[in-house]
Structures are given as structure tokens and as C-alpha cells.
Amino acid sequence: MAPAYKLTYFPVKALGEPLRFLMSYGGIEFEDYRFERENWPNLKPNMPFGQVPVLEVNGKLAHQSVAMARYLAKQVKLVGKDDWEDLEIDAIVDTVNDLRHKIALYHYEQDAAIKESRKEPLFKETLPYYLERLDTIAKNNNGHLAVGKLTWADLYFVALLDTMNCYAQMDLTGNYPNLQTVKNNVLSVPAIKAWIEKRPDTEF
Ligand code: GSH
């Protein structure tokens, strides 16, 4: 029987990977449908808002990667113990996403002059600003990004790291020991380890 969960996404990690991490963590069997880029124009009209990732759960379509990640986090019990803890977790996830956006803005810029002008502010100001703060949070939370224990905020950050590193062409956690601890904590979860061993090898 086909699994009840099907993830449709480009053949990359990016916004699909936090969802794959969460399902793997919780032992949720899923079809990891990675379509070829040339098929996207055919698929796009069938997606709720013309974008992916899209998660099909028992025949129902869900969209918006953070909303889907939050849903899965509830399913696999990686949420907070009350609304305040959930707020703390959500704020980290949104912050990681803000960081991803800022790096992507640089990475995807086609105009070489504009890209060059974005380089110094990104690498000298934005990245240290975000990473120092996240590192301090990780230090104060025992190697986690929120509420002092493993939550979907940790999985979200680590799942997006490869993509952010690839966009920035550097190891974002390189100078940040507490963020490295967050990474190690997530990557040492047996189910995540098993997922990483079996997932397709992609650049980002
Ligand atoms: N806010 C959406 C989410 O988080 O799911 C953004 C989704 C998004 O930007 N998807 C991109 C996409 O579908 C791929 S990462 N691009 C193709 C298109 O827009 O035609």
C-alpha cells in the first residue's frame, strides 16, 4: 500500500528538507516525490498556490512549508509544552527563515554589480548579527535553539543548513561552537542519521 504521506518538491533539499527530517524523525513513512525540473510547468497548475513543497496527507493537499512543518512537529511531538514555548519555537523558525531569505537574496541575484554590492553587508554584518545571536541562544538552551530541549526549531535549522551553506558558499556554523552542538544533536538522532544515509545526494 502506498504511504499516506507524499511530499512533492524539486529534486533538492531546501524547503523540502525540514519536512523530510520531521517525517523521518517520527517514523512517518512518506513518498519522497522529486520531479524533474522540466515537468514543473505541468505540475504547477495542480498545486494549491502554484508552488512547492506540497504535502499530500490521506488524499488532502497541504502547502506552505512552515505551516506543514508545524503540523508535522505536532504529529511527531517536537513542539513545546504550552503556548509560550510554542511561541519561542515559532520565533526561532521565523528567524532562521529570515536568515535564509537574506542569504538567498544574495545567492540568486543575477546582476553581478548588485550581487557584489550585497556581499559585504551580508558577510560582514548580517551573518555575524544572526549567527552570534543564535549561537548565544543555543548556549543558553543546552545545545538547542529553544526551550532547552530538542524541538522542531532544531530540526528546521539543521535541515536548512546545507542549502544555506551552499548559497553562502561557506560553513555558517564554522565559528559558532554552540550552533555546531545543535547540528550534532540533530544529526546524532538515529532516525535522522538513517534518513541522511539513504537520501539522494544533491548539491543543496
Ligand atoms: N512560502 C512558500 C513555502 O514556504 O512553502 C514558498 C514556496 C516556494 O518559494 N517554492 C518555490 C517554488 O515553488 C521552490 S523553493 N518555485 C517555483 C514557482 O514558483 O514556480
Residues 33 and 94 in one domain: no
pLDDT score recorded for residue 3: 76
Ligand 1 neighbour 19 (Cβ under 6 A):
no
Give domain status of residue 203, yes or no.
no
Q: How much distance in Å is there from the Cα of 52 to the middle of ligand 1?
A: 5
Residues 28 and 105 in one domain: no
Residues 94 and 168 in one domain: yes
Grid-cell match 507524499, residue found? 6
Q: Which atom of ligand 1 is nearest to the CA of 12?
A: 15
CATH code at position 164: 1.20.1050.10
Residue ranges making up the domain that contains 59: 5-77+191-198
Q: How much distance in Å is there from the Cα of 96 to the middle of ligand 1?
A: 17
Percent of the chain with pLDDT over 90: 99
Query: How many domains is the chain partitioned into structurally?
Result: 2
8 within 8 A of 54, measured Cβ to Cβ: yes
For the segment 162-182, the average pLDDT, to the nearest whole number, is 98
For the segment 9-20, the average pLDDT, to the nearest whole number, is 98
Residues 138 and 41 in one domain: no
Ligand 1 neighbour 44 (Cβ under 6 A):
yes
Residues 57 and 128 in one domain: no
Q: How much distance in Å is there from the Cα of 51 to the middle of ligand 1?
A: 5
Ligand 1 neighbour 136 (Cβ under 6 A):
no
ipTM rounded to 2 decimals: 0.99
Residues 19 and 49 in one domain: yes
Q: Does the pLDDT at position 2 exceed 80?
A: no
Residues 58 and 123 in one domain: no
Calpha distance 51→3 (Å, rounded): 22
SS (H, E, C) 11-78: CCCHHHHHHHHHHHHCCCCEEEEECCHHHHHHHHHHCCCCCCCEEEECCEEEECHHHHHHHHHHHCCC
Cell of 96: 532562521
Residues 72 and 88 in one domain: no
Q: Is the pTM of this model over 0.90?
A: yes
Residues 89 and 139 in one domain: yes
Residues 18 and 39 in one domain: yes
Q: How much distance in Å is there from the Cα of 15 to the middle of ligand 1?
A: 8
Residues 127 and 162 in one domain: yes
Calpha distance 72→66 (Å, rounded): 10
Residues 91 and 139 in one domain: yes
1 within 8 A of 165, measured Cβ to Cβ: no
